[in-house]
Every structure is written in structure tokens, then in C-alpha cells.
Structure 1
Amino acid sequence: MLIAQISDTHVSTPEGAEDSLLRTSEHLARAVAHLNCLERRPDLVVITGDLVDRGEVGEYERLRELLAPLRRPVFLLPGNHDDRDNLRRVFADHGYLPRDGFLQYTVDDWPVRIVALDTHVPGQAGGRLCGERLAWLAARLAEAPERPTVVAMHHPPFASGIPVMDAFGLDGSDGLAAVLQRHPQVERVLCGHLHRPIVRRFAGTVACTCPSTAHQLALDLPPANRLAFVMEPPACMLHLWLGSDGGLVTHLSLIAGEHPPLTVHDGQGWIRDPRPPAGFHPA
């Protein structure tokens, strides 16, 4: 099983700054094309929040158009830039989305179970897992203690070392840790929000953040204390389930600036004199 994760797409309407300055819609179209062209097609795609930039209906309508060419099932999660009601309205045919309340759900159709958590707090950049949401998570994990499981959410439950973003972190991470420590079937916690690939041990499992499909956050570690965007190559995460013996392996797949691969081993043996394909240029 292969799970593709993209995040922080920040789709805007054509007049929005994200479209004119950061070209977020164009970048999402490239991400969709990238996923469609992978030799090993993902079984599903999870988008871990900040789907649009202002939470407007027009933005969600544009997001829907951009995702339409994707040849795999898509599962959406809200981030701090999203609006639950407008997301529900435009994606009303996505039957996994609850009709009211928190946008939380489970996906049970593949070998790895997905439990999606809603960390959104309207009007705030940071996230929260309140008692109600944590109780829901505990109940869902208790339903299938033997199933390998991925928990997906927008806000990461750990400090990144990027001071400005850590000020907009997740309230309730201690409660999340307490739940996860009782459920060793959780293979991974998949997050967004930080616009960078970051990995950390958390509560007996591994938590990671996915880059944006467009702009990334500059890696400003202490003592720096600013927030800046950089147009580093966008990327997605590919989470490959190798079975109970191999576990879940996570790969970073760059979307921009790709070159054709130079094959040096064809599965049968090493190629002594590999010939570069058309368009191949060494770095």
C-alpha cells in the first residue's frame, strides 16, 4: 500500500496574493501531475490541511477543479486557514466528511487504517485537541487495536525549533501523547502546517510534517526569530507499507526541478555503461 501526502496547498482565487505572488494553484496542478505520473501509483492521497488560504467558497471551488485530474481517491483535512462549513459545502459528495461538527473520520478500505483528526480553531493560527476530539480518537483507535494505523492532522504535536511557528503550535499535545502511548498500532502521525519536512519521535511512534506543494518556510533556527518564505523545491511524502515485517517507510518525493532517472541497475544486474536518457543533466 502506498499513501501519498501533500499539504498546505493554500489555493486562492486568481486575484489573491497567493496566486499572483506564490502561484499556489499552478504548483498544486504540478503536484497532481507528479502524483499521476509516479510509476508506483498511490492508493490514496491525504491532504493535511491549509487547503485554501482564506476559507472562501470560491477558493474551494478552484481547489476542486485542480484536484479533479487526480486519478486516486483524495481525503481532505482542515488547517488553520480553512473553513469547515465552506469545505463541507463544496465537497458535499465526499461522503467521509461528517455533516456537522469536527471534520474527523476513519478510512478503513486499505491495509493501513487512517484516522483523521481535526485540529482547527476558527480565527486562530494554532491548533487544539480538546477533550472531545481526544475521546473520539481514543474510541476509534480502540476499535481496531491490531490494525496498522496512521493518524493524520494539520498541526504537529511537537516543537520544531522554528520559534515563530512554535508559537502557533498544538494545544493538547500532551493529551494526544497519552492516547497514542496506549495504542502501539499507530505507525505514523502525519502533519502539515510547517511547510518543511521534519521528523521526530513522539509518544512511542514517529511524527512527521510534509512540505508545501508551493512555498516552504525558511529554516531559521534560534537565535533567529523571523518568519520567511523560500521557493525551495516543493515536495510530497510517500508512505509505503511493506507489511507487518517491513512496517511503514516514508520517502520525500520532490515535485519541482525533476530530471529523468539514470538507471544503473535494471533489477537483474548492474549496467556497466549506463547511457543518460534525453534531458538528463548532472547536478
Structure 2
Amino acid sequence: MLIAQISDPHVSALEGVADSLLRTSGHLARAVAHLNRLERRPDLVMITGDLVDRGEVGEYERLRELLAPLRMPVFLLAGNHDDRDNLRRVFADHGYLPRAGLLQYTVDDWPVRLVALDTQVPGEAGGRLCGERLAWLEARLAEAPERPTVVAMHHPPFALGIPVMDAFGLDGSDRLAAVLRRHPQVERVVCGHLHRPIVRRFAGTVACTCPSTAHQLALDLPPANRLAFVMEPPACMLHLWLGSDGGLVTHLSLIAGEHPPFTVHDGRGGSATRSRLRAFIRREVGSSLN
């Protein structure tokens, strides 16, 4: 099973800042094309929040159009930039989305179970896991203790060492950790929000964040204390389930600049000639520097 994760597309209206300056819609269209071109096609795509920039109906309608070419099912999570009701209204045919209240759900159709957890606090940049949400998570995990599970949410449950972002993190991380320690079937906690790939061991499992499909958070470690973005190459995460023996392996797949691979060995005894390798390197290195 292969799970593709993209995050924080921040789709806006045509005149919106996110679209006019950061070209977020164009970046999402490129991410969709990238996923469709993968030789190993993902079984599903999950988008871990900040689907749009202002939570407006028109933005969600544009998001829907941009996602339409995907050749696999897509599952949506809300982030701090989203509006639950407008998201539900535009994606009313997405039957996994609850009709009211928190946007939390499970997906049980593949070998790895997906549990989506709502961390949004309307009007706030940071997230929260209240007693209601954690009780829901505990109950869902208790339903299938033997099933390998991915818990998906927008806000990461750990400190980053990036001071400005740590100031509006996730309230309730300690209580989440207590729940996860009781459920060792959780293979991964996957998050968005940070516009960077970050990995940390957390509560007996592995927690990671996904880059944005557009702009990335500048890596400002202490003593820096600013919030800045940088147009580093966008990327997606590919979570590959290798079975109970191999577990869940996570790969970073760059979206920007689709360069063809050079086959050194084809698995059938064929190998590359030195002249072909030289020609490939000259072409690809030159194009990567332009």
C-alpha cells in the first residue's frame, strides 16, 4: 500500500495574495500532475490541512477543480486556515466527512488504517486537542488494536526548535502522547502546518511533517527569531507499507523540476555505457543550474 501526503496548498481566489504572489494554485496543479505520473500509483492521497488560504467557499470550489484530475481517492483534513462548514459544503459528496462538528474520521479500506484527527481552533494559528477529541481517538484506536494505523492531523505534536512556530503549537500534546503509548499499532503520526519536512520520535512512534506544495518555512534555528518563507522546491511524502515484517517507510518526493532518472542497471543484466552516462550528466546538471 502507498499513501501519498501533500499539505498546506493554501489555494486562494484569483485575486488573493496567495495565488497572485505565491502561485499556490499553479503549484497544487503541478503536485496533482506529479502524483498522477508516479510509476507506483498511490492508493490514496491525504491533504493535511490549510487546504485554502481564507476558508471561503470560492476557494474550496477552486480547490475542488484543481484536485479533480487525481486518479486516486483524496481525503481532506482541516488546518488553521480552513473553515469546517465551507469545506463540508463544497465537498458534500465526500462521505467520510462528518456532517457536523469536528472533522474527524477513519478510513478502513486498505491494509493500513487512517485515523484523521481535528486539531483546529477557529480564529487561532495554534491547535488544540481537547478531552472530546482525545476520547474519540482513544475509542477509534481501541477498535482495531492489531491494524497498522496512521494518525493524520494538521498541527504537529512536538516542538521544532523554530521559536516563532513553537509559540503557536499544539495544546494537548502530552495527553496525545499518553493515548498513543497505549496503542503501539500506530506506525506514524503525519502532520502539516510547518511547510517543512521534519521527523521526530514521539510517544513510541514516529511523527513527521510534510512540506507545502508551494512555499516553505525558512529554517531559522536559534538564535534567529523570525517567521519567513522561502521558495524551496515543494515536495510530497510517500508512506509505503511493506507489510508486517517491513513496516511503514516514508520517502520524500520532490515535485519541482521533473528530471528523468538515469538507469544504471535494469535488473535484467543490462547496464549503462559510459558515453550515455556522460551525456546524461552534462544535460541534467546543466539544466539544474539554470
TM-score band, normalised by the shorter chain?
A: over 0.9
CA distance in 1, matches of 2:105, 2:200: 25
Q: Does 1:281 align with 2:279?
A: no
* Structure 1 match to 2:77: 77
1:47-58 equivalences under 5 Å are 47-58=47-58
TM-score with structure 2 length normalisation? 0.95
Q: List gaps (5 residues or longer) in structure 1.
A: none
- Whole-angstrom distance in 1 between the partners of 2:95 and 2:20: 33
Q: Deviations over 1:155-205 (max 9, x none)?
A: 000011111111110000001000000000000000000000000000000
TM-score by length of 1: 0.98
Tell me the amino acid that sits aligned with residue 92 of structure 2.
Answer: A
Paired residue for 1:208?
208
Deviation at 1:258, TM superposition (A): 2.5
CA contact (8 A) 1:259 1:280 kept: no
1:178-217 matches, within 5 Å, as 178-217=178-217
- The percentage of aligned residue pairs carrying the same residue is 88
State the distance in 2 between where 1:110 and 1:8 align: 25
AA at the equivalent of 2:21: L
Report the alpha carbon displacement of residue 280 of structure 1 after superposing the two structures with TM: 4.6
Matching of residue 59 in structure 1 with residue 62 in structure 2: no
- Tell me if structure 2 keeps the 8 A contact 1:51–1:81: yes
Structure 2 alignment gaps of length 5 or more: none
Q: Displacement, 1:271?
A: 1.2
Q: Do the aligned residues in 2 keep the contact of 1:115 with 1:150 (CA within 8 Å)?
A: yes
Moved over 4 A (4+): 276-280
Secondary structure class of the residue paired with 1:175: helix
Task: Report the equivalent of 2:227.
Answer: 227
Distance 1:240 1:280 in 2: 31
Which structure's residues are more often helix, by fraction?
2
CA contact (8 A) 1:262 1:280 kept: no
- Aligned residue for 2:115? 115
Q: How many pairs are equivalent?
A: 283
Residue identity matched to 1:72? M
1:217-271: CA deviation from partner (whole Å, max 9, x where unpaired): 0000000000111000000000000000000000000000221101112123461
**In 1, Cα distance between the equivalents of 2:265 and 2:188?**
31
**Contact between 1:260 and 1:280, CA under 8 Å: does it hold in 2?**
no
Equivalent-residue separation in structure 1 for 2:174 and 2:151 (angstroms)? 15
d(CA) in 1 for partners of 2:200 and 2:269?
Answer: 36
SS in 1 for 2:82: coil
Contact persistence 1:78–1:118 (CA under 8 A): yes
Report the counterpart of residue 96 of structure 1 in structure 2: 96
Contact kept, 8 Å, 1:27 with 1:213, in 2: the verdict is yes
